[in-house]
Structure 1
Amino acid sequence: MKNEQQSIEHGVDTNRRQFLGGSVGAGLVGLGLASGLMSSQANATTAGNKAKSDRMANYTADQLERVKQELVPPPMVPKHDQVATGKPKVIEVRLEVEEKQIELENGVFAWVCAFNGSVPGPLIVCHQHDYVELTLVNPKTNVLSHNIDLHSATGALGGGELTLVAPGQEVTFRFKATKAGTFVYHCAPGGIMIPWHVAMGMHGAIMVLPREGLSDGDGNPLHYDRAYYIGEADFYVPKDAQGNYKRYNQLMESMEEVLTTMKTLLPSHIVFNGGVGALTGKHAMPAKVGESVLFIHSQANRDTRPHIIGGHGDYVWAAGSFADRPQRDLETWMVAGGSAAAALYTFRQPGLHAYVNHNLIEAIMKGAAAHIKVDGEWDDNLMVQVRKPSAIA
């Protein structure tokens, strides 16, 4: 990455010397020619990518290799290629629903319906024009029916109409990933059960990468050294007459009072990855100075606004679509409820970085905060303490 940046800077310096070496008019003409050439090259690249994409879209599932994806608990993401090779593939994934209690913070518990046992559910990764063949398992030990609606899928309520399973059943369906971007998935069994299941943490995300990988919008490829998935969730834990959080022995016992609390639209907790402190302290996400890290952030229910304290979003796809030109150098970005966003940042200083929902009430008082522990050498040129604290004269 460092050598690549030096090469880019060398090219910029060479162009600058060429422009300064001639007259102002010649420099402007040269700039115009260079701009026109770059524009033509970008248009040619775009046209070539579109033609290739159209060819990839013509394959049907029975023509393609099948690959099983090993899903992992967030914030980790499954192994994947950033740039697709060869034909599209059929990506096989398996999600099993677990109904259980989790501890949101010390002594505060909530019933959840968790895809593969985690809140949020695991990130699924594929490339545009791949097929995703998903098996949804509802063990007989559960008490509720479940399904899955993937915002990346086309038709049948995102798959919700094809995947409703009672306890003791499983179902398999397949969809083509036609749009590149980051998308939410969640349970949507119908009626009041939809918001209740989502508020019980039954949601996750899928990342559909462009076949040629991520781009800065000008035809230049972007790569990441690490990727993390952060799923933000709002919980609505009822309180008793004394103001203490209530705990329920059975899932269905909690339903009526949780629904009543949900109607206030006032969450008791807003957390990353299933609990207060789930991504802080010893659970902080590691990184190194010079590494580019891709953060995928989802919120199935409410709007949120991620911010890296001490860092930025170098490239941000806030609306989630990789077909869009990424925004650059953002301090904070908005993620609409019911969507997932992606942000790429190259860390430049070591130490602890806080990754927060920048409604700081929700971050500090409700729990929507994470840590990134970055190793490396400090750069005084970027920041230095000029004078230590001392008594005022």
Structure 2
Amino acid sequence: MTPVAAPVDLSKLKRIKRELVAPPFVHEHEQVAPGEPRIVEFEMPIIEKEIQVADDAWLQGMTFNGSIPGPLMVVHQDDYVELTLINPAENMMQHNIDFHAATGALGGGALTLVSPGERTVLRFKATRPGTFVYHCAPGGPMIPWHVVSGMVGAIMILPREGLSDHKGNPVTYDKVFYVGENDFYIPKDENGNYKRFEDVAESYPETEELMNGLIPSHVVFNGAVGALTGENAMTAKVGDRVLIVHSQGNRDTRPHLIGGHGDLVWEAGKFNNVPDRDLETWFIRGGSAGAALYEFLQPGIYAYVNHNLIEAVNLGATAHFKVEGDWNNDLMEQVVAPTEIVG
């Protein structure tokens, strides 16, 4: 597509550059817009590489910025997002980017198709506040394959005045984490072992056959089984208000924080809508991103799971929050420790 229109004069707008970081972390940003709309510049290379998904499973992955999911971008409503998308010469595939937050040209996908050795720059106005998915969509069967190979991320467009609760009162967060959920389809050999391929092109025929059966081999957070557990657990302190942005580019999912709740939940991810309150489990539609705010009240390990517990326990969709602080017996107390039953 070659759009034909008069150029827009944005020369008076301030430009800022943001350095993207790998999830679950999020780049530096203000929660309340500091002034007039700005042009926010991002640069993102596309990296094709093999990724270890589990102890016995490797994925020929395709990534934005080298991570699965791609990094969370944060701007404010009415800012302009200006993305330099780079497809290095050593890659094998064509790629592009479709922003669900953008208007026109297949979300920018029709204007950003780059072959290996090419770069492109896309600018769009962030007109709607909320959390939105972006993903690669190069056309035809390449679209689902690129998505289930890792090419999906999210952008958060904050209201200029920041977030608000159900009564319209200002809400802030102490920390923000981005959890991207992925379904992977890694073929097995005749002995039941996961196959390992030489490159991304070699992996395609068998991966396509498996993914068309709609039964994933793995359902994971942030690219791998255990990627957000143990030493990689997300951390907080008692009293911290934590915003969790959760995306799924391909399938429906049901986030649940074991031992906690969603104090405020923008289930569909759109900040113009009044948030739901006190949810135990919320629903993220495939191809969308949602946001939940929770104030941690007790210390310990909190499991954050897809509450299809088969996918959480058996396929890998589990993360941990490690929270420091003092225990509150008023909220929960072990009145009698487990003891032997006598008589």
TM-score band w.r.t. shorter chain:
over 0.9
* Alignment match of 2:30 (pick from 46, 71, 81): 81
* Alignment match of 2:131 (pick from 179, 182, 194): 182
- The equivalent residue for 1:35 is none
- The equivalent residue for 1:322 is 271
Alignment of 1:68-217 (within 5 A): 68-217=17-166
Say whether residues 1:67 and 2:24 are aligned partners: no
Structure 1 stretches lacking a partner, 5+ long: 1-58
Following the alignment from structure 1 to structure 2, what is the Cα–Cα distance between the partners of residues 170 and 232?
28
Alignment of 1:1-393 (within 5 A): 61-393=10-342
- Paired AA for residue 135 in structure 2: H
Aligned-pair identity (%): 61
Following the alignment from structure 1 to structure 2, what is the Cα–Cα distance between the partners of residues 345 and 217?
14
Contact 2:236–2:322 at 8 Å: present in 1 too? yes
Corresponding residue SS for 1:62: coil
Contact 2:183–2:219 at 8 Å: present in 1 too? yes
- The equivalent residue for 1:45 is none
Corresponding residue SS for 1:145: coil
Following the alignment from structure 1 to structure 2, what is the Cα–Cα distance between the partners of residues 219 and 269?
40
- Paired AA for residue 384 in structure 1: E
- TM-score normalised over the length of structure 1: 0.84
Per-residue deviation, residues 236-282 of structure 1 (Å, max 9, x unmatched): 00111111111111211110000000011000000000100000000
Following the alignment from structure 1 to structure 2, what is the Cα–Cα distance between the partners of residues 356 and 63?
46
Q: Kindly tell me: are residues 78 and 67 of structure 1, through their superposed partners in 2, closer, same or farther at Cα, counting changes over 3 Å?
A: same
Contact 1:137–1:170 at 8 Å: present in 2 too? yes
Contact 1:182–1:342 at 8 Å: present in 2 too? yes
Contact 2:135–2:249 at 8 Å: present in 1 too? yes
Corresponding residue SS for 2:11: helix
Instruction: Note the C-alpha offset of 1:391.
Output: 1.4
The more displaced of 107-116 and 308-317 is: 107-116
Per-residue deviation, residues 75-121 of structure 1 (Å, max 9, x unmatched): 00011100012100000001100000000011210111111100000
Per-residue deviation, residues 294-338 of structure 1 (Å, max 9, x unmatched): 000000000000000000000000001000000000000000000
Moved over 6 A (4+): none
Contact 1:307–1:356 at 8 Å: present in 2 too? yes
Per-residue deviation, residues 46-73 of structure 1 (Å, max 9, x unmatched): xxxxxxxxxxxxx963321000011100
Following the alignment from structure 2 to structure 1, what is the Cα–Cα distance between the partners of residues 202 and 86?
24
Corresponding residue SS for 2:246: strand
Q: Between Structure 1 and Structure 2, which shows a larger proportion of helix residues?
A: 1
Corresponding residue SS for 1:265: coil
- The equivalent residue for 1:46 is none
Per-residue deviation, residues 185-208 of structure 1 (Å, max 9, x unmatched): 000000000000001010100000
Give aligned pairs, total: 335
Following the alignment from structure 1 to structure 2, what is the Cα–Cα distance between the partners of residues 353 and 380?
17
Following the alignment from structure 1 to structure 2, what is the Cα–Cα distance between the partners of residues 306 and 60?
43
Instruction: Note the C-alpha offset of 1:134.
Output: 0.5
Contact 1:313–1:331 at 8 Å: present in 2 too? yes
- Paired AA for residue 252 in structure 2: D
Structure 2 stretches lacking a partner, 5+ long: 1-7
Following the alignment from structure 2 to structure 1, what is the Cα–Cα distance between the partners of residues 196 and 61?
13
Following the alignment from structure 1 to structure 2, what is the Cα–Cα distance between the partners of residues 389 and 147?
57
- Paired AA for residue 380 in structure 1: N
Rg larger for: 1
Corresponding residue SS for 1:389: coil
Contact 1:314–1:330 at 8 Å: present in 2 too? yes
Following the alignment from structure 2 to structure 1, what is the Cα–Cα distance between the partners of residues 200 and 129?
37
Contact 1:61–1:131 at 8 Å: present in 2 too? no
Corresponding residue SS for 1:197: helix
Following the alignment from structure 1 to structure 2, what is the Cα–Cα distance between the partners of residues 262 and 172?
32
Following the alignment from structure 2 to structure 1, what is the Cα–Cα distance between the partners of residues 142 and 162?
37
Contact 2:235–2:321 at 8 Å: present in 1 too? yes
| RMSD after superposition | 0.9
